[in-house]
Structure 1
Amino acid sequence: MLTTALVVVVLTSHASDWQPAGLVAFLAVLAVASDAMAIETASMRLTGSFIAIVLAMVLLGPAPAVAIALLTVAVDVPRLKDRPSALIGNASTYAVFPLLGGLVARAFNLSAEDGLDQAVGVGVVFAGVFILNFLLIAVPHIWTDGRSLGTSFTKILVPLLPSEGLGCALTIAAAATYHAVGIPALVAVLIALFLFQVLTRALLLSQERAEQLEARSSQLASLQVGVLAALVQTLSLRDRMTARHSAAVARYARAIAEEVGCSKSDQELVHTAGLLHDIGKFAFPDRILLANRKLDDDDWKIVRTHPYQGARLVRRINGYGPVAEIILAHHERIDGRGYPRGLTGEQIPVLSRCISIADTYDVMTARDSYRDPVSQAEAIAELRRVSGAQLDGDLVEAFIRVLERSGLQFQHTTDADFERELDFEARVKGYALPQAA
């Protein structure tokens, strides 16, 4: 490709292309100097030399444009000396697009045009060679790295469109002004080009920082959710029913919240709290957690600490304060006889009241509970019996409506129940993106 381009350059070069010599020299210096102060980020390297090269295509011809473009490639030799294939690839790209752009500009005689015709022509050439340059760079990466064209387009090309639009406007203005004023106008271009590069640098660095922040937020969220999930799963190794019970409570509590018109965010919040509501049992000794006897008063003092211990643990994770508040109150009672704070009625967060109902129901109906399961009808009768004293009466009736209408039940089939309710990837994304924003 490089060889073919150079042959065509020689065959199409005219002596007049190199006049005026001062313009050739100025654009060459402008391009090389701009390339020397290139904008580099983790994913790309951009310079303002593109404007000087397009001006050479329009105001001079294909041969000077290619020569100036290859001079800018020479600036890259020290950087790419250990990557000869990349250097040759750059040289090929910087020979092809200036050649084609210069030939198009010559065919439409843009160097002699003025006014609207020249502005449109320069804009078309700029846009065309910009897209061609992108394709010449992106397509080899698709072939060698397996990178998709769509990904390259959205990640690299689209973010540059605003700054390249500015570059196109500068090029059109410089070409128009050159006809009227000459070389002095290009001094203004030099200043404008410097500002263009500064603005583009700021744009790309801002994008890179946003991507880094999003990645770090996602990593942090993944760590946070992973730690909590691991704690529940570790707890389930000691008490096999814990993880499945937590998954069931999460599902039932979400259904109650949805039935009474809670927002989507509150439904997700109560679901998360349901998954983690018994995490405070992690601190229980085996004689309590695995007890097959009646607990004594000292044991019950320890049991009653698990909402507090769970809330304290969860609150340490960034962003989980609201979850901790729900966990802390999930064993409070409407009549004030609950624990750990003896809250009454409306003092108890509504989502904690949802979890209390879900917790009570699952303990009664689960096959792997510490007690023999009862039928759904018996469980509903018991919920109504303690309604208004232990549990919120309105929420109990809402849950019963869900059970009778949808037949909602949790089978407690395998430990994978917890994994499905956790939905790890979606949960990480959901907690990461708000933090990034």
Structure 2
Amino acid sequence: MGRRTLVAAQTVLLASSLAVVALTSRAADWQPAELVVLLAALAVASDATAIETASMRLTGSFIALVLAMVLLGPAPAVAIGLLTVATDARRLRGKPALLLANASTFTTFPLAGGLAARALGLGDADELTLALGVAGIYVGVNLLNFLLIAVPHIWTDGVPLGRSMRTILLPLAPSEAMACALTVLTAATYQAVGLPALVAVLAALFLFQVLTRELLLSQDRAEQLQARSTQLASLQVGVLAALVQTLSLRDRMTARHSAAVARYARAIAEEIGCDAAEQELVHTAGLLHDIGKFAFPDRILLANRKLDEDDWKIVRTHPYQGARLVRRINGYGPVAEIILAHHERIDGRGYPRGLTGEQIPLLSRMISIADTYDVMTARDSYRDPVSQAEAIAELRRVSGAQLDGELVEAFIRIVERSGLQFQHTTDADFERELDFDARVRGYALPQAA
């Protein structure tokens, strides 16, 4: 009786959701058609490379569905959801009850999220409203999706809801938090740049799922999922590296500048005797120190004019925005702290917190020097580059006020002794510093005890 009642309830839910879709669908929801096709392709491809465990099936199609809810509307989101169910039908051959459950679930939560996005007016929202709205919808539909799956198990099998949350939701919380952040970033990228850059970001998201799948398949998947959750979250640094590459599609100057800062900062750390872990930490922070600029509007990121005060208010948020994004990754709190403080000044006139002297993290002070030097000497900078000698003179002029004096002298010793430099006019140095493949391998391989 219980299972028949459940089937009837799921049938009613499916039919009701489809009726609401028919009543609320708009022709404008299906435009641009290229975006509909792109998100549908991402959903199907992600579902085809789903991660199987003993208790669940993980797929990146959820990100594509949330993007469809926000960027298109409820009807396209439901259509893409049902397309993933149809694609998965072969795997569920002979299990009609499970196929019905999937169909009702992948109709209901995309409909709810799409209607919520429409009610919030996210299509025409400003950047902050869009970010908060997308994050709220992601969390809300994620919880609704979980309940639509968990409640039937409670009903038919007596599985307690609390146990389901502990064994399914909590182990995946770090990964879901990062996926939520990337979904927000992707929506903001589309709003600011349009379809071309969105293609690159979605490719990075798909790459993340492939890498995650390979990591889980190398483990005893069911028993090890929770124990490996920290490493699973750490793997997402590969996605951040991919986002630096994506940023280079939109603003090559900022991306190459980040790679140069990483090289110079590591050299300073090595010069003053930091250990290998600290050198890698400051290098990673250097690569990501400007990641908060990713969602800047083009009028700021690509400006060829003097910025006004309103523009500068936005610019000064990028250390905080970047730190907030990176902090979502388990184990990357130290990187986030370095990013947050990289525009502080020794004299306390920096931002965002006005720290002074040794209140500023040591590695942040290194990045400040590397940042200042590269802005002055880069040949693809917004301003005309100066010579090495002129840059050194300027570093010494602001030493003790803007920059740490001892670290400035350490950096000058390196430059004068080794001729340390970064080639901005080709991709070779950029790719060498990013070293995406090595970073992914490093996090994907099991760590020594």
Compute the TM-score of the two structures, normalised by the length of structure 2. 0.48
Q: Which has the larger radius of gyration?
A: 1
Compute the TM-score of the two structures, normalised by the length of structure 1. 0.50
